[in-house]
Amino acid sequence: MSGATPGYAGYKVADGVQQHKAIGLGIYSFFRNEVILENAIETPQGDGIEIIHTVNFSGRKGGIKHHLNGDGISTYKQPAGARFYKWPGEEK
């Protein structure tokens, strides 16, 4: 548990960060037990935060409910990838 959020993000930008750019992130979960993560990626909101070209994949048990900050396609109980090409912006 990360506070009230189930699990820990695979990629976490600290809440106080104001400038951050990440390109080409890959977050995956491959658990033997029923582990459920809320988000693959967590960042603070702001004009200086950019996340570009990412992929999220889950296999075996458990999964990830959201790709980034509560948004995006779930890979929980459906082994599949989900992509965000640019955040903030569009999902594809």
Structure tokens, 47? 């004009």
The number of domains in the chain is: 1
Residue 73 has pLDDT above 70, yes or no: yes
Tens of pLDDT, residues 19-64: 999 998 888 888 888 888 899 999 999 889 999 888 888 777 888 8
* C-alpha dist (Å) from residue 56 to 1, 17, 48, 70: 20, 23, 23, 13
Structure tokens, 17? 């960060």
* Global pTM value: 0.79
Q: Domain for residue 66, yes or no?
A: yes
Q: Domain for residue 49, yes or no?
A: yes
Q: Is the dihedral of CA 66, 77, 53, 20 positive or negative?
A: positive
Range of the domain at 81: 11-87
* Helix (H) or strand (E) segment spanning residue 27: strand 20-31
Name the phi and psi angles at 44, rounded to 5: -70, 160
